[in-house]
């Protein structure tokens, strides 16, 4: 078993962190600071809708809202499929259980490099031994690429958005976790429990080798208890902290003692309990926890104290409220006002506890509620970098060549990982254990995604994808084919410039635009400054009839110009 | 010199060193020259393209008085009465539409050039394709997905957008107002222009405001993103600053209702406010006059008359504004459309898509007058008859590149993909007949060796600051920007490579602050 090269990890860490913008640079961004919330937004018309089941109209508007909030971007096919169903059928489909994806592959074999543990190209490495730090580094990138592939290829299902939710919640950085196998196994806890039982997930995470490494649990020992994990378990993973009365510092110390003794193995990537390292004394908790004592246990039974601790935490309704609020902010809006607390958070938290911490029923209630579909709940979510990048691929239906093996595919995914980092959110590399501040930090929350650095980069991403595209070393430029999406428009077809603009606007913009602006976009882009629609209709018809270079480029250049303007609109960043 | 460095040097288009044909030396104390010398260091020439969308009926705009009977036969229903045609000073053959008094005055004041019957072989009658041809500079049957000005900017600002904005070019390379024209500024990799989508969005930038949004969560976030977007768009700050430094001054600007004037007001402010942007494009739509081109009873009024009146009013106000803002020496403008219209009017009181058109070029720098003759018209034009071409549109583009932007011949041939004749639309920038302009050897020494075959060295003096040395051929055409650099005070030397130039006589010219000197050199085989 080789040794992890810490220095190499550290260098990679610095390189990647320097590109991320979501956190550190904002303090020095005067434009951001001028316009972002300095306090909770006041005086806005807010929904007073409740959790009662939504019975209103089920049109493209509601369908698109549901799809955008539960998936990354929206596709034409998804809208069509859901328009033909009822609201309840749609939500049920989104919440259905997904088959576990095939694991990440050896994408890293080259003419000069082969996997030292014998894994062949396009074969999974997850059951192979560690190897050495070089192959481990390659596998870590492979793992994130694989994850991005799952996002790109998501079915009509909420799973990928929930996996990302839990990744942000139980945040770990691949740089610190270090072992590719641990990253993958940690990821599977999030994926397996994405809509499952929250209490079970917390228990799994508590002794997950990746988390033991990330928050020093593996160093936690009776002679020198390490409070790192215990503190985050309370503050970030379950109870939260903005309320009174609250747990005490002594409670954290007691929890840290309970958690002494957990270690991991790199032979089979499991964790185990080492009773000799466990603090066996009784642990007394404050009045917040009813003054209970968790009795110390000896030998292998010491591990059961961890279950006792989880049981104790899950007696508290604060856990339910904390998680439900976070889900609300992830799916609806960040500003939880009095009505929302009363009508949504408290009843959903009650349901969460009543269902013994099952996640799916809570999501179902929220996503089928009047509150969720209220017009005032729509279009107010600022798309995350992941949503922006993956959504662009999905909405424009950008497909990689089917003949490609994982070598080429992962090169493209790795480029997307890099670009998400440029936009402030690289998967597997959150700023710290709290996740990305855009998901939790008052009072600006996801306004943080849009700042002096990231706003131009978002537009540059669209310029890139509408222009030359990128090949990331594959030799093939991956880019938007503007005609491909336009051709999907059913009767009257893309030859009708008004229908085409409506079609694009519905798929690309989170909030609609005025008829005046649509007309302006139509005239300046599709009609070449003319007023008669038939100039575009003719050009499109000519292209369909004879798609030679001249006819193709005639419509393509105009579509690119239209799509550039549309995707540069502020509205393209909302959903 | 490496090609890349060479291109960098070519960026620095120099300024008009010669006013109204007078050699520079005699103008040494002329305030205009001082202004020009000042501008040499801070800014350059500007070309404003005015796109007339829809296909402009040139025959009713620039009216061939010497073909009036043929014209009457072809289009009696829309014919401008000869008594109403505006006469042009010194021309018996050509007049202007009666609504164009402002442009008539520009012509009469020597600020306008008309190029007759401009087009290209095998003309295309489709708005889209014809527009693409004009924008790309291609042949009729050739597909080019870059724009002619995109290619020009590519050579002038290599590598854009990486490394831009920078100290040399802090401003947009080109600005489009009102509409995004798809290919004009498309370079090999990226579009080189900044688009200001509407008049409103310009004033939003200037005032730091955004469009109104509803008072809802969605509206709240939308407004936030709009603000960040506006404040971080690369060039909005320089636009805002330039607009704040200059206000429109001309009393000729129309109060409202002239869309072209609204755009040119912006352009004038940005130029006067100090933007180094060399190219602007504005547009006016509505020229696709298949029917009701004129009023049914009075052919001097109606749709086309309104359009031409707007152009005239806007262009006249624009150049008056430039004069009042002291930018007129370095601003030129040109109108163009995707095509002209048919000779024979149709029964709907309009004209159908045609071929060639007259181009109008304005500014202090143009050679006043008319290039070419009135178009030849058949005695009895039939529906299918079209105006024959006199001038390929790229011969006018050549003039803009060579004589206005002072692009060297090789680069220009690359941009236009062929070697086109250069229409004498602009005045020459150096009077090669003037050999009296020899300055002191302290300023500019004789090159050595001279004649030379491979390379030669020039000794020159600088008072410090921007110092340029340019090489011109015997026709006064810039062939090489030898030097353009901030120099320290004192004596310097520079070696020139022949760079493939043919043998013959050349002139090299030094400019440094108020010091200017020209000397002759000879290249021999």
So where are chain B's domains?
A: 3-34+432-523, 44-198+277-416
Of B127, B189, B218, the CB nearest to A530: B127
pLDDT over 70 percentage in chain A: 96
| A113 in contact with chain B, both atoms CB, cutoff 8 A | no
| A361 in contact with chain B, both atoms CB, cutoff 8 A | no
- Closest approach of chain A CAs to the CA of B220, in angstroms? 8
B80: its two tokens = 């401008």
pLDDT, mean of residues A459-467? 94
| B216 in contact with chain A, both atoms CB, cutoff 8 A | yes
Confidence band (pLDDT; 50, 70, 90) for B181? low
Chain A stretch 11-50, residues whose beta carbon is closer than 8 A to a beta carbon of chain B? 31-32, 34-37, 41, 43-46
Choice among A547-556, B43-52, B149-158, B173-182 with the minimum mean pLDDT: B173-182
- A455, closest residue in chain B (CA to CA): B229
CB contact burial B222-243 (16+ within 10 A = b; e otherwise): bbbbbbbbbbbbebbebbbbbb
Query: Can you state the percent helix, strand and coil of chain A, rounding each to 5?
Result: 55, 5, 40
Chain B stretch 140-199, residues whose beta carbon is closer than 8 A to a beta carbon of chain A? 143, 145, 178-180, 182-183, 186, 189-190, 195, 197-198
For residue A468, list chain B residues with Cβ-Cβ distance below 8 A.
189
**Most A-contacting residue of B212, B224, B237 (CB-CB within 10 A), to test interface:** B224
Tell me the backbone φ, ψ of residue B391, rounded to 5 degrees.
-135, 130
CA angle A535, B193, A534 (to 5 degrees): 5
pLDDT at residue A150 above 80?
Answer: yes
- A561, closest residue in chain B (CA to CA): B182
Of B182, B198, B224, the CB nearest to A558: B182
pLDDT over 70 percentage in chain B: 88
Contact between B116 and B373 (Cβ < 8 Å):
yes
Question: What is the 8-class DSSP label of residue B13?
Answer: -
For residue A451, list chain B residues with Cβ-Cβ distance below 8 A.
228, 232
Distance CA A228, CA B55 (A): 73
| A383 in contact with chain B, both atoms CB, cutoff 8 A | no
ipTM of the complex: 0.94
Element (H, E) at B412: helix B409-416
* Predicted pLDDT at A382: 98
A560 contacts B232? CB cut-off 8 A: no
Size of interface A-B (CB pairs under 8 A): 134
pLDDT at residue A198 above 70?
Answer: yes
A565: its two tokens = 């303007």
- The number of residues in chain B equals 525
* Predicted pLDDT at B44: 84
pLDDT at residue B75 above 80?
Answer: yes
Query: In Å, how far are A494, B84, B143, B349 from B63, measured between CA atoms?
Result: 42, 11, 33, 18
pLDDT digits (tens, 9 = 90+) for B238-292: 999 999 999 999 999 999 899 999 999 999 999 999 999 999 999 999 999 999 9
| CATH C-level class of B3-34+432-523 | mainly beta
User: Could you tell me which residue, B507 or B355, shows the higher pLDDT?
Assistant: B355
Confidence band (pLDDT; 50, 70, 90) for A12? very low
B198 contacts A520? CB cut-off 8 A: yes
Question: What is the 8-class DSSP label of residue B91?
Answer: E
pLDDT at residue B199 above 90?
Answer: no
Confidence band (pLDDT; 50, 70, 90) for A89? very high
* Predicted pLDDT at A78: 98
The 3-class secondary structure across A316-374, one letter per residue, is CHHHHHHHHHHHHHHHCCCCCCHHHHHHHHHHHHHHHHHCCCEHHHHHHHHHCEHHHHC
DSSP string, B66-83: GGHHHHHHH-TTTPPPTT
* Predicted pLDDT at B440: 61
| B457 in contact with chain A, both atoms CB, cutoff 8 A | no
pLDDT at residue B1 above 80?
Answer: no
Highest mean pLDDT (candidates A5-14, A212-221, B451-460)? A212-221
Contact between A266 and A212 (Cβ < 8 Å):
no
Confidence band (pLDDT; 50, 70, 90) for A546? very high
Of A34, A46, A525, the CB nearest to B180: A525
pLDDT digits (tens, 9 = 90+) for B83-141: 999 999 999 999 999 999 999 999 999 999 999 999 999 999 999 999 999 999 999 99
Tell me the backbone φ, ψ of residue B173, rounded to 5 degrees.
-70, -30
* Predicted pLDDT at A342: 96
Picking from A302, A548, A325, the residue whose alpha carbon sits closest to that of residue B141 is A548
pLDDT at residue B190 above 50?
Answer: yes
| CATH C-level class of B44-198+277-416 | alpha beta
Detail the DSSP E strand segments found in B351-503: 357-363, 369-371, 391-392, 455-462, 465-473, 478-487, 490-497
A330: its two tokens = 């992830």
**Most A-contacting residue of B210, B217, B237, B307 (CB-CB within 10 A), to test interface:** B217
pLDDT digits (tens, 9 = 90+) for B160-172: 988 999 988 999 9
A45 contacts B221? CB cut-off 8 A: no
Element (H, E) at A301: none
pLDDT digits (tens, 9 = 90+) for A496-526: 999 999 999 999 999 999 999 999 999 989 9
For residue B233, list chain A residues with Cβ-Cβ distance below 8 A.
456
pLDDT at residue B27 above 50?
Answer: no
Element (H, E) at A420: helix A406-422
The 3-class secondary structure across A504-558, one letter per residue, is HHHHHCCCCCCHHHHHHHHHHHHCCCCCCCHHHHHHHHHHHHCCCHHHHHHHHHH
């Amino acid at each position: 078993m080789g040794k992890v090269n810490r220095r190499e990890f550290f260098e990679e860490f610095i390189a990647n962190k320097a590109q991320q913008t979501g956190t550190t640079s904002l303090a020095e961004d005067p434009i951001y600071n001028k316009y972002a919330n300095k306090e909770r937004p006041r005086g806005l018309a807010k929904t007073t809708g409740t959790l009662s089941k939504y019975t209103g109209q089920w049109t493209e508007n509601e369908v698109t809202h549901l799809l955008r909030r539960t998936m990354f971007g929206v596709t034409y096919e998804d809208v069509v499929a859901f328009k033909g169903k009822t609201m309840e059928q749609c939500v049920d489909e989104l919440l259905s259980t997904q088959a576990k994806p095939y694991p990440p592959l050896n994408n890293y074999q080259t003419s000069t490099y082969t996997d030292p543990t014998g894994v062949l190209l396009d074969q999974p490495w997850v059951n192979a031994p560690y190897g050495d730090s070089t192959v481990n580094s390659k596998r870590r990138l492979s793992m994130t690429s694989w994850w991005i592939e799952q996002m790109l290829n998501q079915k009509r299902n909420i799973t990928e958005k929930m996996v990302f939710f839990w990744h942000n919640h139980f945040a770990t950085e691949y740089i610190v976790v270090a072992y590719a196998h641990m990253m993958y196994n940690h990821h599977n806890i999030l994926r397996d429990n994405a809509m499952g039982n929250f209490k079970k997930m917390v228990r799994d995470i508590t002794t997950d080798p990746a988390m033991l490494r990330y928050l020093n649990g593996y160093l936690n020992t009776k002679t020198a208890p390490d409070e790192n994990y215990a503190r985050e378990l309370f503050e970030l993973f379950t109870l939260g902290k903005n309320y009174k009365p609250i747990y005490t510092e002594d409670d954290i110390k007691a929890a840290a003692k309970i958690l002494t003794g957990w270690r991991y193995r790199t032979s089979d990537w499991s964790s185990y309990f080492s009773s000799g390292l466990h603090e066996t004394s009784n642990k007394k908790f404050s009045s917040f926890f009813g003054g209970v004592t968790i009795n110390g246990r000896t030998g292998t039974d010491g591990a059961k104290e961890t279950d006792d601790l989880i049981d104790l935490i899950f007696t508290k309704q604060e856990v339910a409220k904390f998680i439900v609020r976070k889900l609300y902010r992830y799916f609806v809006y960040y500003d939880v006002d009095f009505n929302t607390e009363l009508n949504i958070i408290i009843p959903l938290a009650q349901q969460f506890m009543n269902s013994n911490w099952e996640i799916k029923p809570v999501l179902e209630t929220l996503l089928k509620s009047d509150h969720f579909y209220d017009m005032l709940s729509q279009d107010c979510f600022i798309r995350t970098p992941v949503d922006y990048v993956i959504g662009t691929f999905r909405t424009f239906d950008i497909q990689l060549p089917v003949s490609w093996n994982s070598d080429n595919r992962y090169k493209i995914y790795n480029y997307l990982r890099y670009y998400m980092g440029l936009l402030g959110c690289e998967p597997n590399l959150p700023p710290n254990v709290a996740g990305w501040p855009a998901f939790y930090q008052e009072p600006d929350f996801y306004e943080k995604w849009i700042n002096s650095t990231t706003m131009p980069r978002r537009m540059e991403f669209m310029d890139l994808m509408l222009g030359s595209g990128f090949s990331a070393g594959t030799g093939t430029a991956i880019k938007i084919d503007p005609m491909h999406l336009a051709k999907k428009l059913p009767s009257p077809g893309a030859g009708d410039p008004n229908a085409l603009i409506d079609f694009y606007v519905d798929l690309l913009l989170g909030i609609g635009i005025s008829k005046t602006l649509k007309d302006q976009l139509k005239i300046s882009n599709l009609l070449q400054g003319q007023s008669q629609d038939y100039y575009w209709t003719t050009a499109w018809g000519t292209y369909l009839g004879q798609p030679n270079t001249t006819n193709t480029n005639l419509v393509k250049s105009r579509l690119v110009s239209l799509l550039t303007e549309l995707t540069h609109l502020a509205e393209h960043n909302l959903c | 010199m490496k090609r890349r460095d060479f291109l960098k040097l070519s960026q620095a288009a120099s300024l008009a060193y010669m006013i109204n044909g007078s050699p520079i030396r005699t103008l040494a104390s002329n305030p205009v020259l001082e202004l020009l010398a000042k501008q040499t260091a801070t800014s350059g020439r500007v070309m404003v393209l005015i796109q007339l969308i829809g296909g402009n009926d040139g025959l009713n705009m620039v009216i061939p008085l010497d073909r009036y009977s043929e014209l009457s036969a072809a289009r009696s229903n829309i014919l401008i009465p000869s008594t109403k045609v505006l006469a042009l000073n010194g021309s018996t053959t050509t007049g202007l539409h009666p609504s164009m008094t402002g442009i008539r005055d520009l012509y009469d004041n020597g600020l306008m050039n008309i190029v007759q019957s401009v087009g290209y072989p095998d003309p295309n009658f489709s708005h889209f394709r014809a527009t693409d041809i004009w924008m790309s500079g291609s042949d009729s049957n050739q597909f080019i997905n870059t724009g002619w000005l995109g290619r020009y900017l590519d050579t002038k600002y290599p590598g854009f957008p990486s490394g831009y904005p920078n100290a040399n070019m802090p401003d947009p390379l080109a600005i489009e107002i009102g509409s995004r024209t798809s290919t004009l500024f498309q370079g090999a990799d990226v579009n080189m222009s900044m688009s200001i989508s509407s008049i409103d969005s310009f004033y939003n930038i200037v005032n730091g405001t955004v469009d109104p949004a509803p008072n809802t969560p969605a509206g709240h976030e939308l407004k936030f993103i709009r603000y960040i977007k506006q404040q971080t768009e690369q060039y909005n700050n320089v636009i805002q600053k330039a607009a704040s430094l200059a206000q429109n001054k001309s009393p000729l600007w129309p109060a409202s209702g002239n869309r072209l004037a609204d755009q040119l007001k912006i352009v004038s402010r940005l130029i006067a406010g100090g933007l180094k942007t060399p190219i602007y494009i504005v547009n006016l739509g509505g020229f696709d006059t298949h029917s009701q081109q004129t009023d049914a009873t009075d052919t001097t009024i109606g749709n086309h008359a309104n359009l031409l009146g707007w152009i005239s009013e806007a262009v006249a106000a624009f150049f008056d504004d430039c004069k009042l803002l002291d930018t007129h020496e370095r601003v030129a403008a040109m109108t163009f459309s995707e095509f002209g219209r048919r000779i024979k009017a149709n029964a709907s009181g309009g004209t159908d898509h045609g071929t060639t058109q007259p181009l109008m070029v304005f500014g202090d720098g143009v050679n006043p007058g008319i290039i070419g003759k009135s178009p030849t018209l058949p005695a009895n034009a039939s529906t299918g008859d079209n105006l024959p071409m006199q001038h390929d549109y790229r011969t006018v583009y050549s003039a803009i590149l060579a004589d206005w932007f002072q692009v060297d011949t090789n680069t220009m041939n690359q941009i236009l993909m062929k070697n086109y004749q250069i229409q004498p639309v602009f005045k020459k920038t150096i009077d090669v007949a003037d050999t009296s302009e020899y300055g002191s050897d302290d300023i500019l020494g004789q090159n050595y060796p001279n004649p030379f075959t491979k390379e030669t060295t020039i000794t020159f003096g600088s008072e410090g600051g921007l110092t340029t040395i340019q090489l011109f051929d015997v026709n006064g055409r810039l062939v090489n920007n030898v030097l353009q650099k901030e120099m320290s005070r004192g004596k310097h030397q520079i070696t020139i490579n022949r760079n493939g130039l043919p043998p013959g006589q050349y002139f090299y010219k030094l400019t440094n602050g108020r010091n200017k000197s020209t000397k002759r050199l000879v290249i021999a085989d």
